[in-house]
Structure formats: C-alpha cells, structure tokens
A and B are shown apart, each in its own frame.
Chain A
Amino acid sequence: MSLSATPRADAGIQSRPRPSRIAVLLAFALAEACILASPATLLSSSRLSLHPLVVVSVLWLVLFSMAWARASMAQADVPNGLARLAALVAYILLATTCIGLLGLSLDGVLIGLVASLIIWWRGLSLGSSELSPQQARGLFWLGLFLAGGLTMFNTHPARLVLLFIFAVAALVAVQLSVRYAVAQYNYMSASALATPRWRRATFLIVLAVLGLMVFDSALFNSEVANTVVWFLIVAIALPLAFLLTTLLSLIVQILPLEFLRQLLARLIALLTSVQQLTDGVPQQQPETELQPPSTMDPRWILFGLAALVLIAIVLFVVRQVQLRRQTQPALNDTDMPEEDQADEAGDNALDEQRKRSPFSRWFAGATVRLIYARMVAEAGRRGMPRARTQTPREFMPDLMNAFPNAEPEVNHITEAYEAAHYGQLPDTLEKLDTIRQAWERARKTPRPDKPRPAPG
C-alpha cells in the first residue's frame, strides 16, 4: 500500500468511526463472491440446480470464513505445518462440495476442481491481504469487467441482481477500506482520500448497471451485435484451438485411450458447433430434449475461454499502468518535510519489494543475461570470441577491445550480468533501461582496427 505523509488529523478523518476489519473483510468477500458466482449464470439448471444468488451467499460465507481463519492463524502465530494442514483440509472440503454440486461426470469434476481451487486461493489471499483502498478499487473495476463480461453472454434472470450486489459491495469495500486504512496507519495518500463519496458511488452503480442492461439487451436482440460477437469468438477460438492441440499432444502421452476417445469426441462436437456459429446458424435445440449430463454447451466453454483471455489482458494492462505510476515521481511530494520524505522513501522501498513479482524479477534477470550474450556474440563477430573457459571478468578486457570507447558500458553490463546470473534474482527492474541503453551505445561503437586472434 502506498502511503504518503498526509497527516490524518489534518485531513479531519480521525473523528469518523473506525470500521472493524471484519466489516471490511465482509465487504471484500461479498464482492469477490459475486465475481466468483458470475460463471454460475452460464451453467444450465441441469448442471447446477442452485440459484446464483444462493451460490453468492454460500461463497460469501466460505470466502469470509477462510479469510478470517487465515488472518486469525497469522495473528495467533499458528505453526506453519498446522496452517498448511488446515488449508489442505479446507481445499478438500471445497473440492468435494463443488464436485458434488456439479455431478460426478468428467466435466463436472474438472469444473469443480478449478472452481474450488479458485475459491480456495481467493479465500486465503483475502485473509493475508492488507485490504487496502487501492485493492478495493482494483476489485471493483476487475469485477465489473469479469462479472459484467460473463453475465453479458446469457439471459439468466438473476444476472443483473448479481451485478448490482457486486457493484454495491465493491464500492462499500472501497469506502470501508479507506476508513480502515486511515485509522490503521494514521495517514493516507491524497489519491486514496479522493475516493468516491456516497452520492458519486450511487450514481456510478446506477450508471454501470444501466449501461450493462443496454449492452445486454442490444447484444441479445440485435443481429449486428450478434454478428460482431460471433466474429470475436472465432478470432479468439483460433489461437485457443492451437493451444488446445498442444495441450492434447501432451495429454495423449499420459492419459488412457478410452478417456482420449471421449475427449476427441467432445472436441469434434465443439468444432462442429463452432462451424455452425460461424455459419450464423445458432444451435437450435428443442427445450423438451434432455441433454446428456456429460455434454456441455460448447458456447459457454468458448465464452469462458474468451473471458479468461480478457482477464489476462485486463490484468496485464492494470499491471503496466501500476508500474508506470510507480516510476513517476509524486507531484505533491515536493513540499514535504525531510523526515516525511525519508519515511515515504522507506515505505516506497518496502512497497517496491513487495510488489515486484518473482516473474518481473526473473524477466529482468533474463533480459540482462540476453543482453550480455548478445554482446559476447557481437564481440565474436568483431574478431574477439570468448574462450569457453573465460569467465565474464576475464573476458572483460577483450570486450573492451571489441567495443572501443565503451569501457563504462561494458563494465556496467558485465557487472549487471554477474549479479543476474550468479547472484540472487537481481534488483535490475529499474536499471534495466540503463543496461539496455548501455548496450545500444556499445553496439554502435566502431569496430576495432586490428582484431586480435581468438584466445585458447
């Protein structure tokens, strides 16, 4: 959480009642329960007999219990082994319940496992998270995309109620988390204080629900909207089909033949329905005809996959925006006292460490290693190949000869490479650009006049 030195007393918020962590957690859990329950509107009643609102209630209870248990265990300093055992038991209970609700067919088991895993993960994550306003706002927008996107593609009567509950819960979570954070940490950044007020929040909810209703109506009643969506589905289905084929080739090696035969039959059915969709002939089935329990409507598989791709894109964009914001200096920090600036610098450093994901660090390290490998290859082309027994430091003089007038750059890249390869995953995320620039400068240096013979 990014905290800046705006004193709480000056902001005049101290007099407000402090919400308890339980209340904040309840709001967060409700919002997340709505998101997680939104795929239930896609399932037919033969697949899931529970009403989506019942699903929301159950999920709310489950998420809250898990999160509260997780937070309590952390506070009580419960031994790791016991905590892990509890988490395992919780997952087994969740998985058996989900599978039981969805039926013991292959797709029921698969959906049940995935759903229980996601619920389990979210429950534990909520318990260990800070429940910050930024997180609540992220939840609101992400949920709007997810729940909105999923409920858009069906005509379930409960979908709009579900969306409404979600929007209210998410905005309540924003409000409560702001107050909770202010009470907890004594000060809060200006941007966190500038959260939507109640009127603004109500307006936003109404606007969001109305917009979704209009879009929903247009989608299901307009031929143009339908055509656009079908085109989108096909565009998404093609790369997914490629991925599916790759996955299948892996599965072929580990699964029994009978299972594969069934899977192939399902795939053919899926491709046939995609073909029908592209031909503009919706699959018409008489309502009286009972679908076999093991056969899923292929459309919602596609919708689910499309939603996953959408989630990935949204998460990527959000992350990029976050990273960009982190690198920009705060404009309102210039008149801050030195002590506060130091505090904030410490907080920011901690935040940086916390937010830097293992993936981004791995990526930074891999990039540095790639740049070094390119530099060595370029040195080889310039007549100074590396002997295979030479270490980076031993090879540095040769590199300096290969890239004349670029000694600082060569030194910089070599040191960064050593840290990236032999050290712990490096703190090179911020320095990555300087390393790239150093390589660009080194690459553009003229070739040496007389290349030396290769060592070794």
Chain B
Amino acid sequence: MNLQNVTTLLNALRTNVRTVIVGKDEAIDVVLIGLLSDGHVLLEDVPGVGKTTLAKAIARSLNCTFKRIQGAPDLLPSDVTGVSYFNQKQQEFEFRPGPIFANVLLVDEINRATPRAQAALLEAMQERQTTVDGDTMALPKPFLVIATQNPIELEGTFPLPEAQIDRFFARVRLGYPSESEERNLLMRFERVDPLTTLQPVAEASDLIEAQKLVREIRVEASVVDYLLKLCRKTRESLGAQLGVSPRGTLALYRAVQARAAMQGRDFVLPDDVKQLAPYILTHRIVLDGNARLRNRTAGDILSQALENTPAPVDA
C-alpha cells in the first residue's frame, strides 16, 4: 500500500459515511483521522444529532465487527469485558467475551456508566488488551472506541475522570445541522434509513496497512518544534490547571500525519497542527477555578496558545 492508496481508501470511507451523515464533513474527517491514527474518539453533543449513526456508519463502511455498550448506572465491568461462567456439561469455566472484543466499539452515553464500568475501558483503550480473572487477552485489530456523551443533562451522570478522558484521541462536537442540511436529511431519510443499505468499502486489514504507512509521513523539525511549543504553552497558560499531557502531544503528532495522508501529502504542514489542535487538545486541558468563574473555556486557552506561537515560516 502506498500513500495514494491510503488517500483513496479514506476518500471512499468519507464518501460512504456522507451518504448517511448529512453535512458534518469536518467531524467525519476527524473521526477518520482518529481511525487512521489508531486512536479513540469521544463524540460530545446533545441528543439526536447523529453521534450513534456516525459510529455505526463507520463500522459498516469498514466491514469489521461492531458492538455497542449502553452506558447506564447498573452497567458492570463484566458487561464490558466479558465473564467466565461454569459450563456444567463440560465441567469447566468458559469465557464469554464481552462487547469489548470488537473492532469498533460504540459506548453510548459513557458518562452514565459508573466509574467502575468506565475503568474497565481504561486498560482496553490504552493497551489494547483486557484482563479478566487474571487472564490478559489481546483485543482485535483495529480497535476503535467511539464514545458519546451528552454535555447537557448532568444529573445522575459520572463525569469522566482525567485519566479516562486523556485516553481519547479526539473530541468532536457534531452540532446541529444547518437548515439546508436538515432539509437534505429529511429527504434522504424519507423512505428508508440509508444506514441499513450501507455497504462496506474497505477491509479491516486495509486500515491496519494504512495505519502503518501514516507513521512514515514526514514531520519536518520546525513543524515538530511548533507542535511542541503549542502543547507546552497550554501548560504555562494562566487559567489552565492542567495543560496538554505528553500523550496529547503524541496524539497531535499522529493526527497531523494522518491529516497529511488524507490530503495526499507525504509531509505535514503547520496548518495541519492548527486545524487539528482544537479536536485533539481541548479536552485534555483542565481549567482552574478562576478561569471557570470567568467563563473561560479550554478553547480560549488553546486559542491564546495559538496566538502566541509563531508559525515556522521563513520570513
């Protein structure tokens, strides 16, 4: 597989997903970048904007296994990872794999699950393995977690801890569609749900190959410096209790490589860093009390960092 194949693959995926999701091209691209960078995506928005549909559309387009977990207060870790039960016929314990053993895992309303259940995802998301009854089992490749959460209704929810949220490669907010997009949506869903007729356009093995190739995209030294300065500035910013973690820096590095590949380039531009920083970095920034009182957001901190970081240009 070469760069052209990767670009073609991503274009095919994007076109396929667009038949279901109307508008939201940028969000689709970020999810695909997450997919290509072997990262997990958190979709955060109000109900009914297409978060679950987007996750399903991507899973179907890839022709890989798809499982879903519905976040609820009574969700147990064994409901996520699987359980060992005693088979009376065989007179031995058997392991029944949980939904986590899938290529694409949709964790719907993740913040409604208890911290115990959320913690069951920690090992799986970072180390691509899960441990049940002392046995460690590798998860299938590729492994992508797409989680959704509703930022409005907070009663009865368990906000994701920093360790958990940092494991998400990107956070995407879909937002409401525009009037024309919504009109288009009505027409498209008038008779049949396009998700039911969606055909796969790529195999999981293609994606694994593409993920390997993306790591070879060139990031020039000055762009690396730019990226590093930007991430470090978020740590030094007034109003930020916690800045971007080194894992966040690495995620941004992988993301810009994937964006370059998506656009058919074998090198990264500073524009890639600027475009992707809001999706990759903002959910990793934790505001202090003063900033919250002044209604500042993580986006403001990042914007400030971007305004104070010179772009690597000869001039």
Contact = CB atoms under 8 A, between A and B. Distances in A.
Interface of A: 369-370, 372-373, 376-377, 386, 388-395, 417-419, 421-424, 456
B230 to A, nearest CB: 10
A391 B269 contact: yes
B310 interface: yes
B274 A391 contact: yes
A393 B274 CA distance: 11
A423 B271 CA distance: 14
Nearest to A394: B271
Interface stretch (B113-121, B154-162, B216-224): B216-224
Given A418-B269, A423-B267, A372 B315 contact: yes
B314 A372 contact: yes
Interface string B218-240: 10101100000000000000000
Given A418-B269, A424-B266, 11 more contacts: A373-B314, A373-B315, A376-B315, A393-B271, A421-B220, A422-B220, A422-B268, A423-B220, A423-B265, A424-B218, A424-B267
19 contacts: A372-B314, A376-B313, A376-B315, A389-B308, A390-B311, A390-B313, A391-B271, A391-B274, A391-B311, A392-B269, A392-B270, A392-B313, A418-B267, A418-B269, A419-B267, A422-B222, A422-B269, A422-B270, A424-B267
B229 to A, nearest CB: 11
Contacts of A388: 310-311
A369 B267 contact: no
A377 B314 CA distance: 10
B4 interface: no
Contact of A391 (B220, B266, B313): B313
Contacts of B223: 422
Interface in B152-189: none
B307 interface: yes
A389 B313 CA distance: 9
B307 A389 contact: yes
Contacts of B306: 389
B309 interface: yes
A456 B310 CA distance: 12
Contact of A422 (B267, B274, B308): B267
A124 to B, nearest CB: 30
A388 B265 CA distance: 24
B273 to A, nearest CB: 9
A264 B311 CA distance: 49
Nearest to A370: B314
Contacts of A422: 218, 220, 222-223, 267-270
Contacts of B271: 391, 393-394
Contacts of B311: 388-391, 394
Contact of B314 (A391, A394, A395, A421): A421
Residue in B218, B267, B308 whose Cβ sees the most chain A Cβ within 10 Å = B267
Contacts of B314: 369-370, 372-373, 417, 421
A373 B314 CA distance: 6
B315 A386 contact: yes
A393 B313 CA distance: 11
B173 to A, nearest CB: 23
A456 B218 CA distance: 30
A31 B51 CA distance: 75
Residue in B222, B312, B314 whose Cβ sees the most chain A Cβ within 10 Å = B314
Interface in B45-87: none
B261 to A, nearest CB: 13
Nearest to B220: A422
A369 B222 CA distance: 14
Nearest to A380: B315
A421 B311 CA distance: 12
Nearest to A366: B314
Contacts of A423: 218, 220, 265-267
Contacts of B315: 372-373, 376-377, 386
A370 to B, nearest CB: 8
A424 B310 CA distance: 22
Given A421-B222, A422-B220, A424-B218, A386 B313 contact: yes
Smallest CB-CB A-B distances: 8 pairs: A376-B315, A423-B267, A388-B310, A391-B270, A422-B220, A391-B311, A373-B314, A391-B271
A321 B260 CA distance: 39
Nearest to A369: B314
A367 to B, nearest CB: 12
A418 to B, nearest CB: 6
A390 B270 CA distance: 9
Residue in A376, A395, A423, A424 whose Cβ sees the most chain B Cβ within 10 Å = A423
A356 B220 CA distance: 21
Contacts of A386: 313, 315
Contacts of A456: 307
Contacts of B268: 422
B87 to A, nearest CB: 53
A388 B308 CA distance: 9
Interface string B272-303: 00100000000000000000000000000000
A413 to B, nearest CB: 12
B258 to A, nearest CB: 16
A353 to B, nearest CB: 16
Contacts of B270: 391-392, 422
Contacts of A418: 267, 269
A417 B310 CA distance: 17
A424 B221 CA distance: 11
B240 to A, nearest CB: 19
Contacts of B310: 388-389
A419 B268 CA distance: 10
Contacts of B220: 421-423
A392 B220 CA distance: 15
Contacts of B313: 376, 386, 390-392, 395, 421
Contacts of A424: 218, 266-267
Nearest to B226: A391
A373 B266 CA distance: 23
Nearest to A379: B315
Contacts of B307: 389, 456
Nearest to B306: A389
A456 B306 CA distance: 12
Contacts of A395: 313
Residue in A373, A390, A391 whose Cβ sees the most chain B Cβ within 10 Å = A391
A443 to B, nearest CB: 16
Nearest to B267: A423
A328 B269 CA distance: 35
A423 B3 CA distance: 14
A369 B313 CA distance: 9
